[in-house]
Chains A and B, each alone.
Chain A
Amino acid sequence: MTETSITLTLNGKKKTLRVRPNELLLNVLRDRLFLTGAKYGCGIGECGACTVLIDGRPALACLTLAVAIDGKEVVTVEGLARGDELDPLQEAFLDHGAVQCGFCTPGMIMTARSLLDENPSPSEEEVREYIRGNICRCTGYTSIVSAILSCAQEKEGA
């Protein structure tokens, strides 16, 4: 296998790395860059714990080849806060008791971030459909859905 040099923007900073073709983005983030927010949950795209944003949209790092993100922009949960200022979603998760064991939380927040970027005023049903690929075994989802909805803008005319 041939190692390749890739350059990406990671949480706002340019990063150049040499990777083997079969290295997964998730393992590069965790094992090489020590960004351990994205988690291994199932390895096959069924649980959402490894969700990161690639070019602004949610993607599963456990199924993404690191070599294939050359030139792209990746944001992980560690890159969501602006300095000491948490993202409103992070604040909302804290205020709504949406965190229990916390293992699904980073992936859940990244998915929710993408939802609100796409659709700033989703309905409850739209929130549920959007996060249906992110499994939470603790909360039963209600507190998570409430947290996300609390960050939604009021629909115009509503």
Chain B
Amino acid sequence: METRQFEVAGRRARRKDGIAKVTGREIYSSDVYLPGMMHAVVLRSPHPHAEIVDVDVSEAERMGAVCLTPFDVPDTVYNERTVSIPEKTYRDRTVLPKKVRHVGEAVLAVAHDTEELAMLALSKVKVQYKELPSALDVKDAMVEARGARLYDTVFLGGECIQVKNNIACERSIAVGDVEDGFRQADITVESEFEAQRMYHAQMETKAAVCAPEPDGGITVWTTTQTIHNVRQLLGQIFSLPLHKVNVKRIALGGAFGSSIQMNSITPICVGLALRAKRPVKLVTSREEDMYDHVKYPVRFWLKFGAKKDGRLVAAHMKALVDIGAHNIQAYPLLGCIAGWFASLYKFQNLLFEGRAVYTNKVPACAMQGYGNPQTNFAVESLMDMLAEELGIDPIQLRLMNYVGVGDEFWGQGPTVRSIIKSCGVEEMLSRGAAMIGWDRRVHPSQKSGDVVRGIGVARGFHTSGTGGPKPGEVIDYSSATIKVNEDGSVDLITPVMDQGGGTWEAAAKVVAEVLKVPLDMVGISPSDTRTTGYDVCTHATRGVYCGVGAVHHVAEQVRQKILEFAARILEQNPRDLSLARNEEIGQAVIYPTGLPDRYITLGEVAKTAQIKSWGTIAATDSYRQKNCPPCFVTHFVEVEVEKRTGRVRIVRAALLGDCGTPINPDMVKGQLIGGLCRGLAFALLEETAYDSNTGRLVCGGYLTDYKLPTACEMPAIDDIMVGFANTYEPSGPLGAKGIGEAALNSAASAIVNAIYNATGIRFKKLPVTPERVLEALREGVAR
């Protein structure tokens, strides 16, 4: 396998935005203050389903408030997520819908000089609702006779389509002949699995600030993973030419997928600012945020067929997704679930049948893994069940069947596929087994006592981006500008958002690596939609592979220009020059190959180019990755179960990641451990439960009753072992793939498999709370 030594990439360094973040000086959307700024608040529906018959904002307006109601927003029907091609994008919403479809949906908004005054004005608003029958349970929702009908019609691309039985969309995907596959099988296993509604709980609640500009345009600072898609949507909704819509790139206090789509409050804030002709700031409260987005909950039915020797021959999956009140991205999600399923093992024959259903609950959207952790939970649980039936070691069964080098990988559903070129699956399974002590693992029947331990394994992956040799249903490319300043320092201008994972840092390191400049001579420039080319979104674990891939592509062009200008000065052919890093003088240097003493510095080259009016050494370009290489992960987890209280604790974990070259090793490690923490939350703790009468969240939107893992729930420092697979992705920047979402994808599966190994009870419904454990231990089986 190809490996390379790098001077900057792969080495630890302080992240460039670190100083601002540790001193409290980093500016997030909610930290933006503008002269004359108004503050906005949103009135939210108390009903799960109701028509808005009338609104009366006259008293609020008399108090000096500026109001925005469903009756005075543009009627553009849009989808807030625009990373798929338009003809595969369902559209069902407006800025402020005239019919509310979940408790907490925005009804209208009010801006005033202060947030207190805005709240006071809001309390004077009168809304007349006509309540409608609601569907809170996904199975009830499919029976239209029960009365709830969320939509009559929605748009798919340009076409208006009927919605029947609240089914938002369906997808059926087949490979080979699944019936024939099951006929060949010596053994079949099948089961249902259920993954819950879980809240992203990113630390920063959704926020937007909009300044109307004198030319009729707008400048927007908002929590988003994609400045360009927000810009295009705002332009479309408010009929503004794009050169008058500027969305600023700004630090983001976490997202985990909840800002792949334009946040619901962003156009509301813009609408208010345009109406008020003053800057407006809108920051949601935590309780509003919890009513705004949630992870896709999925119910699975899954069946495998295998030969006696463990070779898989058939698999059939049915997935039912409760998408809540809006179809943000259910169609691509179903495709992706099929892909996450199809790409884990060589099933040979498979059938996927997916259905997404509207309910009167918080709209679901991507959350780290985009259906992958849910799918992985079902597949990796059933793999363990199959291994036990066959009497084969779970690791062995995985090694026999995994999808690896030379196989096709579905990076974003059935239309985005590429051939795998780098794969650390075998290495990670064997190293991880040694790290956790797999040979100590014994069958649950051999355990006794009130406190039992168990070891579980699960493997997973995520895509790196959504590119493929053939363009599919998902848009994927990025852009970058790099320029060399007159002292040899470098400005990097990228549209890519960094939600905290260190994408910008990786970009700076790649520039430093290619241009041989010291890392501290690379500056990450503030940027916005006006000064950058398009980037689709920091989603699909594409930041490093695709976003930084574009940076790498442009850096190579800049490198050529450096050599051309240096060649003029040194009176040499550019081919005969070497570019190298000189840490002593803190510069990149250029010299005739073989004569390092005859160097000139990059600063001298750039300054000469300026004085002689040759021009700036710079390049701008766009770049599309034509692969979607999987970043593989493997989780080994040891749990301890207190049988008397049902409590489960993770005592040890071995986390292995295959991200190709780890450009930021610290950050890769941080992603893997962070993934374990959110995997713990998904497996054991978190769920947004609903009151079936009122349609409200049982926790009310307050963190008091939506508990997140604290430092005490995680294993000790020495009990978390992290390893990177020794791989090199030939299509990636400096051999890198992604890691972000992969870091989570098999975490919960490994935890649940470990609980089985401890207790002999197979949990098929998440989260595995102490209440459920105790009940199952008493009854001998999990419900």
Contact = CB atoms under 8 A, between A and B. Distances in A.
Direct contact of A and B (CB under 8 A): yes
A97 B717 contact: no
Interface of A is mostly: loop
Contact of B24 (A38, A101, A133): A38
A46 B702 contact: yes
Interface in B662-696: 666-667, 669-670, 673-678
Interface residues of A, number: 59
B253 A37 contact: no
Interface in A88-115: 90, 93-97, 99-106, 109
Interface stretch (A2-10, A53-61, A66-74, A136-144): A136-144
Contacts of A30: 31
Interface in B204-232: 204-205
Contact of A100 (B24, B670, B678, B710): B670
Contacts of A106: 22, 24
B356 interface: no
Given A42-B703, A131-B711, A94 B22 contact: yes
A103 B203 contact: yes
A127 interface: yes
Contacts of B253: 39, 101-103
Contact of A46 (B704, B712, B714): B704
B254 A105 contact: no
Contacts of B673: 139-143
Nearest to B719: A142
A1 to B, nearest CB: 11
Interface in B709-767: 710-712, 714, 716-717, 720
Contacts of B703: 42, 44, 46-47, 135
A101 B666 contact: no
Q: Which of B203, B667, B669, B673 has the most CB of A within 10 A?
A: B203
Contacts of B204: 39, 41, 101, 103
A96 B19 CA distance: 13
A102 B251 contact: yes
Contacts of A131: 710-711
A76 to B, nearest CB: 7
B18 A99 contact: yes
Given A95-B14, A97-B667, A138-B670, A34 B33 contact: yes
B718 to A, nearest CB: 9
Contact of B283 (A40, A101, A103, A138): A40
Contacts of B12: 97
A106 B675 CA distance: 22
Contacts of A46: 702-704
Interface residues of B, number: 56
Contact of B501 (A38, A43, A81, A100): A100
Contacts of B504: none
B578 interface: no
B720 A142 contact: yes
Nearest to B664: A97
Interface string B3-28: 00000000010110111111111111
Contact of A41 (B22, B252, B286, B674): B286
Contacts of A97: 12, 15, 666-667, 669-670
A100 B24 CA distance: 13
A146 B203 CA distance: 21
B203 A35 contact: no
Contacts of A77: 22-24
Nearest to A95: B14
Contact of A86 (B23, B286, B670, B702): B23
Contacts of B26: 102
A127 B756 CA distance: 32
Contacts of B254: 100-101, 103, 137-138
B372 interface: no
Contact of A132 (B14, B670, B711, B717): B711
A151 interface: no
Interface string A24-37: 00000011001111
B711 A101 contact: no
B774 interface: no
A118 interface: no
B348 interface: no
A102 to B, nearest CB: 3
A72 to B, nearest CB: 20
A78 B704 contact: no
B732 to A, nearest CB: 22
B286 A135 contact: no
A66 B717 CA distance: 39
Nearest to A30: B31
Q: Which of B205, B666, B710 has the most CB of A within 10 A?
A: B710
Contacts of A34: 33
Contacts of A49: 203
Contacts of B710: 128, 131-133, 135, 141
B201 interface: yes
B15 A129 contact: no
Contacts of B704: 44, 46
A132 B203 contact: no
Contacts of A95: 14
B562 to A, nearest CB: 31
B714 A129 contact: no
B286 A42 contact: yes
B500 A138 contact: yes
A65 to B, nearest CB: 14
A64 to B, nearest CB: 17
B455 to A, nearest CB: 20
Interface string B523-554: 00000000000000000000000000000000
Given A34-B33, A46-B702, A106-B24, A100 B674 contact: yes
Given A39-B203, A103-B28, A135-B203, A140 B286 contact: no
In the A-B complex, the 7 residue pairs with the smallest Cβ-Cβ separation, listed nearest first, are: A37-B24, A101-B500, A103-B253, A102-B21, A97-B666, A140-B677, A77-B24
14 contacts: A37-B24, A39-B204, A47-B703, A77-B24, A95-B14, A101-B204, A101-B251, A106-B24, A127-B711, A128-B710, A132-B712, A135-B703, A140-B670, A140-B714
Interface of A: 30-31, 34-44, 46-47, 49, 76-78, 80-81, 86, 90, 93-97, 99-106, 109, 124-125, 127-129, 131-146, 149
Given A40-B283, A103-B204, A128-B710, 7 more contacts: A39-B30, A46-B704, A49-B203, A105-B21, A128-B711, A139-B670, A143-B673
